[in-house]
Structure 1
Amino acid sequence: MEEELKEKSGQLDDFPSGEALEISEVEQLTRPRYHYRLFFGDLKLRVHEDVMIKYRMLKGSSFTREELEEIMEANERQSAYASSINLLSFRSRTRTEIMRKLREKEFHPHVIEVTLERLEQEKLIDDGVYAQQWANQRVRSQKKGKVWIRQELRQKGVEPQHIEEALGNIDEDEELSSAVQLAEKKWRSTPGGMLDKKRKTMAFLMRRGYSSDLVRKALAAVQNKDQEEEDV
């Protein structure tokens, strides 16, 4: 475990200064992917494939400790970037979510910041776009209200201005329509009298993150429809 940590962090404490060391063996690793273990006699380092290619770290090549220190700095940046790309390949994420994951992997704070800036420059993370897409998806597919969505985006570390802009762009009629659909379903599945139906439906919508004003509108729509059906 200690040797794995040393490889991961790129420590070069055991490497002699001012002396060129030759790569005696190159071993491809299955985990983490796209990484190689380089042997310098009894000493070894773990590097990302892109870094190995860039610096031509092949068997028989020689490097001083000073050169390796520079290479390992580049290696940590590349590893952090590659780890971020892997996370984003599964789903979109916020800046804060990527930052938290990189911290868990114990990357240096400066490396994390550089990586996040690169991802933003390349438009691979964009909290404003993320917030808008998330809000629309939660209203349409999950039938969540703005209160719920605001809390979710806060937990994901999205800045307040992005959250409010995303919520402000939600179509009010669409949110009300989603609330009415939920209210109708809850109303019809709730046994008991009018008071019980009203109380339980209101509580249900509130738990789904709809505002009290929108809950009242949705409930009124359901009651009116229910009354119309009884009058037929």
Structure 2
Amino acid sequence: MVRLTNYKLQKSAWDTALDCLSRRALTNHELETRLSDKGFEIEEIHKAMHKLENYGYLNDQELALNYSKGRLKRYSRRRVIADMQNRGIAPHLIEQVLGEVYSRDEESQQCLSLARKWWAQEEQHWEEKVSKETNRKFVPVKLWVQQKVARKLMQRGYSSDMVRDVIAEIQSLRNNEMTDF
């Protein structure tokens, strides 16, 4: 009878890197950090990473392009830049990729679209809140909604100037709707 032990075979940097990349796409920096944290020698790490780049499994430019396309639908350019910098993507690569997929007009339109959606949601929340608590005094709906929407947009990384312009545009559109009755 063969005795089983808790002996575990030591994985190579190559096997560990493939295991990491099988879960999600990583930047060169992220993969190097993970392998280094697992105790691999720097030479072995660079050898595995070079092999991965040759096979096309490790490509910061492609990752940055896909990442920015997915994130720019929900976040500002500034937020996406910060997120990509945190992932270790080179600044020149970030600017190149964002120049291809995103313009200031698109960012402004995205901000306006989010603000309109959230404005309607926050007005409804305000109405629900007021109907539940009739004895309390509340901030006027316009101010309450404006603050909530502005805060959400700022959390998404939109500049204060852009947020101010979008809020003003929504308010003017709503004022025009009120006078059309």
Q: TM-score range by the shorter chain?
A: 0.7 to 0.9
Q: Mark the CA change 1:30 to 1:85 in structure 2 (over 3 Å): closer, same or farther.
A: farther
Alignment of 1:182-201 (within 5 A): 182-188=114-120, 189-190=122-123, 191=126, 192-201=140-149
Find the aligned partners of 2:169 and 2:69 in 1 and give their Cα distance. Answer: 23
Helix, strand or coil for the counterpart of 2:89? coil
Comparing both structures, which one devotes a greater share of its residues to strand?
1
Q: Distance in 1 between matches of 2:7 and 2:110?
A: 45
* 1:198 CA drift (Å): 2.7
Mapped to 2, the partners of 1:148 and 1:187 lie a distance apart of: 21
- 1:194 shift after superposition: 3.0
Name the counterpart of 1:93: 26
C-alpha spacing 1:181/1:129, structure 2 compared with 1 (3 Å):
same
Q: Does 1:162 align with 2:73?
A: no
**Does residue 172 of the first structure (1) align with residue 104 of the second (2)?**
yes
Shift of 1:97: 1.1
Q: CA deviation at 1:205?
A: 0.7
- Provide the residue aligned with 2:82 in structure 1: 151
Question: How far off its partner does 1:227 sit?
Answer: 2.2
Paired with 1:107 and 1:187, the residues of 2 have a C-alpha distance of 51
CA RMSD of aligned residues (A): 2.8
Aligned amino acid, residue 110 of structure 1: E
Equivalenced residues, count: 162
**In 2: Cα distance, 1:30 partner to 1:230 partner:** 74
By relative contact order (CA 8 Å, sep 6+), the higher-ranking structure is 2
Runs of 4+ in 1 over 4 A off after TM superposition: 29-32
Extract unaligned runs of 5+ from structure 2. Answer: 127-139
Rounded to whole Å, the distance in 2 between the matches of 1:172 and 1:30 is 58
**Equivalent runs, 1:28-47 vs 2, <5 Å:** 46=9
Residue 126 to residue 199, structure 1, CA distance change in 2 (3 Å): same
- C-alpha contact 1:97 1:157 (8 A) present in aligned 2: yes
Match of 2:151 among 180, 203, 211: 203
TM superposition shift of 1:133? 1.2
Offset from partner CA, 1:171-203 (integer Å, 9 cap, x none):
434333322222123323154343333333222
- Runs of at least 5 residues in structure 1 that lack an aligned partner in the other structure: 1-28, 33-45, 49-78
TM-score (norm 1): 0.60
Query: Residues 222, 123 of structure 1: CA spacing in aligned structure 2 closer, same or farther, 3 A cutoff?
Result: same
C-alpha displacement of 1:229: 2.5
| Corresponding residue of 2:132 | none
In structure 2, relative to structure 1, the CA distance for the partners of 1:212 and 1:132 (3 Å cut) is: farther
Specify the alignment match of 2:14 in structure 1: 81
Q: CA deviation at 1:221?
A: 3.4
TM superposition shift of 1:30: 10
C-alpha separation in 2, matches of 1:205 and 1:213:
11
The reply to whether residue 111 of structure 1 matches residue 59 of structure 2 is no
Instruction: Provide the identity percentage.
Output: 28
Cα shift readout 1:107-162 (whole Å, capped 9, x = no counterpart): 1111111112222222211112211211110122xx11112111111111111111
Distance 1:30-1:163 versus aligned 2 partners, 3 A rule: farther
Q: Counterpart of 1:222? A: 170
